[in-house]
Amino acid sequence: MSEAVLAALQWLFRTTGHNRVVSEAMKTNAASLAVMNKMGFRQVGESLCDSAARSGPVPALQTELMRADFTTGH
């Protein structure tokens, strides 16, 4: 999965003017959080996100990746 995320981020930062990408993942979703961490995302907050599988809101982490941080690391 991290290869797909890397390719998407490379495309985004090379071909658009976007300077920031934001993401959110449930705190219990270790795989998604690991991919975000590997790509250089930083935690910027916490929230609740809706989960149909869990029939309601669950704790989540909000992260962001800045263009400058990504281009220096990849």
pLDDT in tens, 3-32: 999 999 999 999 999 999 999 999 999 999
- Rounded to the nearest integer, the mean pLDDT of the chain is 94
pTM: 0.87
What's the CATH architecture for 2-73?
3-Layer(aba) Sandwich (3.40)
Mapped onto helix, strand or coil, the DSSP state of residue 19 is: coil
Q: Tokens at residue 45, please?
A: 């907050």
Strands 56-66 and 42-51: antiparallel
Q: How far is CA 53 from CA 10, 28, 56, 58, 71, in A?
A: 32, 13, 8, 10, 36
71 membership: H or E segment, kind and range:
helix 67-73
Measured CA to CA, the distance from residue 27 to residue 9 in angstroms comes to 22
Q: Tokens at residue 8, please?
A: 């998407």
Mean pLDDT of 58-70: 96
**What pLDDT was estimated at residue 1?**
76
